[in-house]
Amino acid sequence: MNTSDEMPLALVTGAARRVGRRIALHLAQKGYAIGLHFNSSATEAERAAAEIREIGVPVYLLGANLIKVQEITSLFKKLDVIPNPLKVMVNSAAVMMRSNLMEIKVEDWDRIMNLNARTVWLMTRESALRMTCGGTIINISDVGARKNWTGYGAYVVSKAAVEALTRLMARQLAPNVRVNAIAPGLLLRSSDLSEEDWQVLVDRVPMRKAGDPQQLLDTLDFLLTNEYITGEIITLAGGTQLV
C-alpha cells in the first residue's frame, strides 16, 4: 500500500464548486491525493477539503486567480513542494457569460478567453513538465464548442480553442502524457436559470433528459484507465450535437 507521500496527485481546477468539486471528490475516492484549486470560493473549498480528508487522502488547497499568469506560476511553485507526484490534471475552471460578438467589450472577451482557453494551455504545459513518469490531462469542454450559440459567442470560441488545444497538446506530449477532453451538455442547472427555462432546454435534447454528473465521472474513469486513448473529445450531451 502506498504511503501518503507516494500517493499520486490529481490537480483539479475550479474544484470548490459544481462539476470541479464532484471530480475532486471522485478522484479522492479513487485513491488520489488532491490538489484542490479555487479562486474566490474559499469557504466552499474548505468544505470540499474537509470531505476529502474524511476519505483518508491528503488534500492541498491551492488558491489562485487563473486569469493572472503570475498566479498560475505561484500555484505550481506551491505544487513543487508537495511530496505526491503529479499524475492527473483536470482543467475544469471556466466562466460561461452571455455575449454577442457584435457587442461584447474587449475586457469581457479577454476574461472569457483567458480563463477558458489560455489557462488550459498554461496549466497543461506546466503540468506536463512535472509528469516526468507519465500522466493524464483531461480538459472539460462543452458541446457548445461545435454549436453556433450566438448568445454565447465568446464562450463558444473559447471552448472550440480548448478542443484544438486538446488535439495539439496530445500530439506534442505523446507518448509520455495523454491529453483528452469531455464535452458535456446539460448536467447541472445554474442558479440563474429557472426550472422552467431548464426544462425547455432539456426538451430540446434528443434523449429528452439532462445528463447525470455521475456519467461524466464514469467517462473520466474511462479516459484515465484506457491508456491507448489520446487526443479525443468525448461528447456527453444526449445527442445535442446532432441538432
CATH of the domain at 175: 3.40.50.720
pLDDT bin (cut points 50, 70, 90) of residue 207 is confident
With respect to residue 183, please indicate whether it lies within any of the assigned structural domains: yes
Query: Does 106 reside within a domain?
Result: yes
Rounded CA separation 216/19 (Å): 9
Residue 3 falls inside a structural domain: no
Q: Mean pLDDT across the chain, nearest whole number?
A: 93
36 found inside a domain? yes
Which alpha helices (DSSP H) does 117-152 contain, by range?
A: 119-130
Q: Who's near 60: CB < 8 A, 6+ residues apart?
A: 9, 33, 34, 35, 36, 78, 79, 82
- The pLDDT score that the predictor gives to residue 22 is 97
- Say what the pTM is: 0.93
Q: How far apart are CA 12 and CA 6, in angstroms?
A: 19
Domain housing 209:
9-242
Beta bridge partners of 62: 37
pLDDT bucket at 205, cuts 50 / 70 / 90: confident
Average pLDDT (86-94) is 97
* Rounded percentage of the chain residues whose pLDDT exceeds 90: 81
Q: Which amino acid is at 223?
A: L
Q: What total of structural domains would you count in the chain?
A: 1
Helix, strand and coil in the chain, % to nearest 5: 45, 15, 35
Residue 242 — very low, low, confident or very high, per pLDDT cuts 50/70/90? Answer: confident
Burial (Cβ within 10 Å: 0-12, 13-18, ≥19) of residue 148: exposed
Q: Contact at 8 Å (CB) between 138 and 181?
A: yes
Q: Where is pLDDT greater, at 145 or 6? A: 145
Rounded CA separation 232/180 (Å): 5
Residue 184, SS3 per DSSP: strand
d(CA 53, CA 4) in angstroms, rounded, equals: 12
Query: Is 198 inside any structural domain?
Result: yes
121 lies in some domain: yes
* Segment 95-147, tens digit of pLDDT: 999 999 999 999 999 999 999 999 999 999 999 999 999 999 999 999 999 99
The answer to whether the CB of 211 falls within 8 A of the CB of 236 is yes
Dist. CA 122–CA 69, nearest whole Å: 8
Question: In this predicted model, what pLDDT tens digit does every residue of 216-230 receive, in sequence order?
Answer: 999 999 999 999 999
Residue 4 maps to a domain: no
Q: Let me know if residue 188 belongs to a domain.
A: yes
